[in-house]
Amino acid sequence: MPSFLRILKFGSKNFWRNIWLSVATVLIMVITLFIISTIVILNLLTNAAIDNIENKVDISVYFRTDASEEDILDVRTQILNFDRVETTTYISKDEALKQFREEHKDDEVILQSLSELDENPLEPTLIVKTRSPEDYQEIAAFLEGDQYKGVVSSVNFEDNREVIEKLVRISGTVRKAGIAIGAVFFVIAILVVFNTIRLTIYTHREEIGIMKLVGATNWFVRGPFILEGVLYGLIGAVVTVVILYPILNAASARVTQFFEGQEINIVQFYMDNLFWIVSGLMMLGVILGIISSSIAVGRYLRK
């Protein structure tokens, strides 16, 4: 315990002794943690928006008016055999007409036109939802096959194809960009803290030499510098948490505009996940500090 207290004392002293260098290092740490956390939050929001849109995308299969219900249900059974199909909803001609009348109940012209027709002009419909947007192409191709030409009138997939392809591209791009940018700034933070610790070691090289001469262990020499790195990470994480809220609040309108049509509230998302964000930033800051300081001290002790 006394050794740990001495390590704590020396580590804190190192941090405050080079205050301007420490401030600069913490600033770099804050920038890095802020960028990484912002990318993670935007990535999570984008995934939430994509999931929301995916839930609204489907394939509408329109059947011929002379198709029997038995044939239609057989097609439905065949579709359900696909593992990637999540749900299918069958809408009969009568149900389709009822829904159509309800949607246009205030339009007298349309209602009058329907009443003048001798028969129901609407086709039976099957709404198909898959587990992933990448699966719609295969389902559409299956339904457009020759074996169903006498039953299926049309497959309304082309209208959704562009939306689906765009979703897939956005999802992949966001994930790849997030990983790449996060990795770059992670490395930058390690290099900055590494050089700061190395500079601190250089200024204390005579003290370290004396400690080694009187029998100090490598752990005792290493401890204060690792603690210094941890302090950089923890303080950087705390500052990042403090400044994230006002910055996200200021950017909320633009983020909502970017996700136009989606119920996205970045500030609410931040507050709902505050515990995990704070915990993640603290852990990331500590890991950054430990890795960089351990590398710096390890290289010095191996000389």
The β-bridge partners of 202 are none
- Tell me the per-residue pLDDT of 133-161, one tens digit each, with 9 for 90 and over: 778 878 888 888 888 788 888 887 666 56
What domains, with CATH codes, occur in the chain? 2-53+165-301 (no CATH), 58-159 (3.30.70.3040)
Distance CA 88, CA 184 (A): 44
Mean pLDDT to the nearest integer, 205-210: 70
**Which residue type is seen at 302?**
R
Selection from 208, 190, 235 nearest residue 12 by Cα: 235
- Given a cut of 70, whether residue 286 has pLDDT beyond it is yes
- Tell me the per-residue pLDDT of 234-257, one tens digit each, with 9 for 90 and over: 888 999 989 988 888 887 777 777
Q: Residue 176, exposed/middle/buried by CB under 10 A (0-12, 13-18, 19+)? A: exposed
How many Cα atoms within 13 Å fall on the side-chain side of residue 196?
35
- Tell me the per-residue pLDDT of 86-130, one tens digit each, with 9 for 90 and over: 888 888 877 877 877 777 777 777 667 667 666 777 788 888 888
Contact 43, 175 (CB under 8 A): yes
Strands (E) across the chain are located at: 59-63, 85-91, 125-130, 152-156
- The pair of structure tokens assigned to 120 is 């129901």
Contact 263, 269 (CB under 8 A): no
Strand order in the sheet with 152-156: 85-91, 125-130, 59-63, 152-156
pLDDT score for 84: 83
pLDDT score for 14: 63
Mean pLDDT to the nearest integer, 294-302: 72
Q: Residue 71, exposed/middle/buried by CB under 10 A (0-12, 13-18, 19+)? A: middle
pLDDT score for 154: 82
254-257 own/partner pairs: CB under 8 Å, 24+ apart:
255/42, 255/45
- Tell me the per-residue pLDDT of 27-53, one tens digit each, with 9 for 90 and over: 888 888 888 888 778 777 777 777 776
- Tell me the per-residue pLDDT of 69-91, one tens digit each, with 9 for 90 and over: 888 888 888 888 888 888 888 88
**Which residue type is seen at 191?**
L
